[in-house]
Each structure stands twice: as C-alpha cells, then as structure tokens.
Structure 1
Amino acid sequence: MGCRAKMETRLFKKGTQVEACFDEPGIRGVWFTATVIRPPRRDKKVYLEFQTLLNEEGGSERLKERTTVLNIRPSPPREVHRTFKMNEEVEAFHDDGWWEGVITKVHDTDRFSVYFKVSKEELVFPACNLRLRREWVDGSWVPPFEEIDKSNMWRSKGSNMLKPKGPSKKYSSKSKIKFVKGMQVEISSDEEGYVGAWFVATFVKKVENKYIVEHKHFTTDDGTELLKEEVDVQHIRPLPPEILMVDHFKLLEEVDAWYNDAWWVGTISKVLDNSKYIVYFKNSKEEMKFEHSSLRLHQECVDGQWIRAPWVMFPSYSQF
C-alpha cells in the first residue's frame, strides 16, 4: 500500500466525520457534512452517510452514497477567533451545506453580507454561520489554521456528539482556561431577569481575579461604544463547540434559544411542523416558539470540558 493510500485509509476510516462535495451543476463546490460508513477500497471510493441530506424530499432517511476520495476532505477544525473583513473569501452554512462566497458588507461585529458566485445571491449571516475559506491540499489546510479550539477536535465514533479525548492540558479546569485578548467568549449573569442567558462578548483583559469583556450586541447608554463589563470566573466561558444539528430537535431535548441578543437555556416542549418548536424556559416559566435556525444544543463547560445531556426530564413537564 502506497503512502497516499495509507493516508486516505487513516483519514477516512469508519465513523470519521468528513465533508464531501458533488460535481453536479448548482451545487458544485458546496461541502456537505457526512460520516464514513466504509473506508476507501481499490476503486478509491468511500461509502458515506450524509448528515444534512435526505434520500428524497420530505423523507426521513439520510442520503448514503459512494463518493471518490477526490471529493472528500476532513472536517475543518473550529477556529477560536472568527473575524471577517470586506472582500474576504468565506464559506457560509446555508441550505444544509457550506457554500463558497465573498464578504460584501460588514454590518456590525456579528452580521455580514455574503455574495455567492454560484447562485448570484447576496444574503446576511451571523458570524457563527461563517468560516474562512480553505483548501485541503496534500494533507494540509491552505491557508493553515493559526489557532484551533481543541475542544472540538475529537468526536464520538459515528456521531456528531463531542467526546473529549482525555483531559485537555489547556482546559484542565475552568479556572485555568486561558483567555486571550480578542477571544470570543460567552458570559452569564445572576441578575433577576437574566438568569439562564449567555451573552456573546470579546475578552479584553484580566485584572486580578476579574475578567474584563466587551459585549458584541450591547452598547453604552449613549450608544457611542460597545458596553464593557467585569465578570468573575464562574460567569465566563469559551464559545461552545459547534454541534451540527443534522435533522431536527427532539422532545425534551435541552437547547439554547437565540432571543434578545443572547442564548437562553430551555427545553423543547413541543415539536411543530416546518422545523419549528415550542421551547419552555424554566427560570421564567414561559414558552415561546422558535425556528430551527434559532436553536442550538445546550452544553455545559465542566472542569474545562464540554458536556451535554441529550434529554432533560423536568417534573413539571406535565404542566406544559
């Protein structure tokens, strides 16, 4: 077995999450997340199960297909810093895949207009749905990743669920997490009305045992600059690793809902049609309706590692 064949077998072994593209018109160059069912053989084809594509419209069975290794690459690691500039080439998560585009307008620190060459459309995306465009060339990413969030590099076999590969030296405990200036973080508050919410912010500096952060969506009273706040170690954490929701959320699944410029912890209390859900918020004892795109799986940073429970049972659920 040649060196290249050995590398392909190692990269695309069974259970590995990868990205694959098609040569069909209209979706050429779009990358879709998939899991390897069977590694490459002599014909250089890999049998994949796609995470966001279905066999037929309106069906529930995921698409399974044999694809050449030339159209497959590893899933890119997640970057800690996500900043985008005018005319920068990016990939935007849209219509179940990562589409190549160009930043045409910076609306604020978290919203960007992207122009797609394939469809000749221009759409607005939050930063969390964008990533810098890179190519997988001879076993390396071009341009290379400068800083990678290692908490998202290991995944459980055959699944999108994160699985830490032993204790991380960088995140050995929450108090020892290394926050770097300019790093995107999330902060919480114990104030009445804000319990259960995580706000996106940028780390500025550490002063003794306090952390100075700058909010991404809130300004000072006069509106002239972004609001700065001082928090302790119990109320700051890195951005949670991304977990791609492949189809839909399930009843009683714990989620974060994007509302009023923050992520609020809640539970799916009812699954509606057209990818809509009713979410119950325990702290406020309220229910609200959300679209799939406004939800993410809830995760907790425990001892420096990200943990999530797929379902959470509440004694009061029968009262919904």
Structure 2
Amino acid sequence: MSHTRNQNSTPFPNGSEVEISSNDNGFRGAWYSGTVIKPKNNNKNLMIVEYKTLMADESGTKPLRETLDVIQLRPLPPRDKGDRDFKFSEEVDAYYNDGWWEGVVTAVLPGDRYSVFFRATREQLEFGKSELRIHREWVYGEWVPPVEDEQQEASISVDLKISSNDKFQKGQSVEVSSDEEGFQGAWFAATVIEQLSTGKFKIEYKFLRNDDDTAFITEEVDSNHIRPCPPNEMIDQFRLYEEVDALYNDGWWVGVIFKVLGRQRYEVFFRDTSEEIVFKQSELRRHVEWINGKWVSSSSVCNPIHRQIK
C-alpha cells in the first residue's frame, strides 16, 4: 500500500506530549510516550522527538531521540472515565515493554485481571486492569471511537469451532500471514500440501505466483502464521467505524470503515499506512480473529451520530 498524507495536518508544537509509533522490526504496532523537540531543518513533516521510556544508552540515563515523519505522531489518548471494567473480545491497548500494544481481551479473570491476545505476534498474555486502556485510533484529528460515545455495542463471539490443535489436513483451504516487509498484517489464501516433521506446514498460495509467473508460490509456515478460512457471512451493510478486512493485492488487510458511500461502497482507512481506499461491499468482510480454536470478533467501533471524520 502507498503512503497517503493528510494535507490538512499541522505539525505538533515544540514541547507537545505525544505518542509515537515506529516502523522498526519488533516495535511495529506499539505506541510510546514522548515529547516533540522541534522540526527537522524547518521541515514541518519531519519532527525530532524524545522518548520517555526508551533509552539510547545501556545505563538508561539518556532518552532516545529520533527524527520521524509527523504521520507517526499523535496526541496522548484521552483517559478512560472511572474504574472501568473490560469485556470479553473488547479491543484494548496493553502496556507492555514500555509501550502500548493493541490486543483483544480473550478472558476475564479473577482479581481484575485479563488475558489479552496480540494479533501481530499471536501471543496471549495476562494483564491487570491498570495496564489496559480502551483502544482508539487517531484518524484525521478525531479519536475513533469518539470519547463521548466510546463503544456502544457489545462484543460478539462467532460460534464456530474448529480443532484447536492447529493440525491442518492435506488439501485444506487456509489463510497464511507473513512477517515480510510489505506483507505484514495481511492474510493470503492458500492450500495445505503437508505437515512437516518440524511441526511446520508446507502450503501453496492460491493467488501469489513466483517471479516468472510459471507457478504458485509454495512456502513453509509455522502454526502462528496459519489459520482456517474465516466463516463466510452474509452482511447486509457495514457500519461507520466498523473493523473489516478488505481484499487488496491478493490478500485481506484489516481496516476501519470511516465513510459509508452509496451503491454499497465504502471508504476504508488502514491504520498502518494512514491510507484510505474505496471498496465495494463484495470486497469486504467482517474482521475476526482466530483465538484458541474459535473465531472471535473484536468490538465494533460504532458511533450512532455517524459523525464524518474531517
């Protein structure tokens, strides 16, 4: 996907408290607190920032400074009101390794503790209530979901179970994810060729072909990068701010609907690239995660007022 910049965005003033995203391996998908120092060489699109929790030296005395594109910065998210409880399958940010990572609540545990699944790493970890916050996106100067509305709909668990032991059969249709640059975050249709003695699976992609276009690509993948095909659901209409998968460049990419157009067309915003693309309804599906042998839907981010993102 290409990078689309919001032409109306304004740089953050010097000294602004912000959250910072990174494109470096091992840090992608997290937000870190920091401070804007100044623009780089008076370029309003490049900002020098200083992290609050990441250090440049092993002794931990010198905060890390970086020059980043302004699109990698956002204001500090609003604080949740009161002593808030989180619900099963609700989207949250969890504080882990000095940053906030997006995840999904997979279990409500005793003692105000929660089990959280992270889609980027396929990990499941346990957190206390104080280590979690509502997951919000900063989209063109607006928090999604809006602060005053938060999440209006209960989360949904899709009642479809398949073997949770990740033993996929030869010839089974599956979806495969990749950690390669440019493919992260997408799922691609494939067929299982065989399970290897190492525990990995040999698969053949259904639509990705080799460089000389003579055959479909085959690959070995581990169990964290393979899942069954999601349920085929009939959706009458997608809602504003609903999380969806969009079929793009032969794969399914997770995004958020931020404008409902006529004739069953939608504008979808992709958080990883800050890009928006128009899709037909037939090119979209509801976003679900494969967790512990069943499909779980993240909370729909619904705004009943249907405010437009400026």
Give TM-score scaled by structure 1 length: 0.44
Give TM-score scaled by structure 2 length: 0.45
Greater relative CO (CA pairs within 8 A, separation 6+): 2
